[in-house]
Amino acid sequence: MTDASAPDRNTLDADRALVAAVLERRPGAFERLVREYQRLCWHIVDRMVRHPEDTRELCQEVFLRIHRTLHQYRGESALKSWIAQVAFSVATRHLERKRLPLVDNDGDEGEPSLAERAGSGFDLESSVAGEQINACLHAAIDTLPPLQRTLLALYHLEEMPISEIAGLTGLAEGTIKSHLFRSRKRLRDLLESRIGVPT
């Protein structure tokens, strides 16, 4: 993973050709565009909202917006980044409308710790095998606030460089690093509090 987020020429050419086909209303072109980027959009929205029906509805909204505003795409950056940006923005607005917090402050008094939140119904002490550790950590990741959960997914699963994440979320690179750092540290603390410091 490097921070060179500039798309290569082939990607841009392919994006421009696809956009031109959609704007010329060639049969099947828009469906091809959706098919190409639906997974990325779905992953971002799903990480943010964690609700299957809302995810489907919001992803449809993302692509309808993309279709309405596609004439504004100038082909100077990857279509993927633009779609990810719209997906993130739509999901963020949805959470704001529902008054759900995007982030929380770890260590706040009165807030349940990650271990407490992730620990309900799962005994990590008695399940130290790799898969079970993963299952517990996955449960813990799900209890992270939407923004931190999404940043982890973009960085670790989508393998996006921090500069690209900054572009699509509108956050400063330092802020993203800080969120990644804190989230991973919290997951490590949870792990070590349950199974002890590794040898």
Partner 1 sequence: MSVTEKTPFDEAEWQAQERALRDPSARDIDPRDVSYRRVANALRSSPRSEPPADFAADVAKRVARHEAGIEPLLSRILLAAFVVISAILLAIYGSAAWQALGQGMAGGGSGWVLAGAGCVALSWIASRGLGWVVGAGGRTRVA
The reply on whether position 191 binds partner 1 by CB under 8 A is yes
Task: Tell me which residue has tokens 């990607």.
Answer: 11
The reply on whether position 119 binds partner 1 by CB under 8 A is no
For partner 1, the binding residue among 9, 74, 97, 99 (CB under 8 A) is 74
Chain positions 148 to 177 lying near partner 1, rule: CB under 8 A, are 152-153, 156-157, 167, 170-171, 175, 177
Q: How many chain residues bind partner 1 (CB under 8 A)?
A: 73
* 179, 182, 183, 184 alpha-carbon torsion, rounded to 10°: 120
Nearest to 36, CA basis, from 85, 100, 83: 83
For partner 1, the binding residue among 48, 143, 180, 194 (CB under 8 A) is 180
- Angle of the 162-169 helix axis to the 79-97 helix axis, nearest 10: 50
The reply on whether position 99 binds partner 1 by CB under 8 A is no
Chain positions 12 to 71 lying near partner 1, rule: CB under 8 A, are 28, 30-31, 34-35, 38-39, 41-43, 46, 52, 55-56, 59-60, 63-69
Q: Supply the minimum distance, in Å, between the C-beta of residue 40 and partner 1.
A: 10
197: region left, alpha or beta (phi > 0 left; psi from -120 to 50 alpha): beta
Round to whole Å and give the CA distance between 187 and 71: 43
Q: Supply the minimum distance, in Å, between the C-beta of residue 120 and partner 1.
A: 18
Amino acid letter at 84? Answer: A
For partner 1, the binding residue among 107, 110, 121, 129 (CB under 8 A) is 107
Three-state SS for 82-97 is HHHHHHHHHHHHHHHH
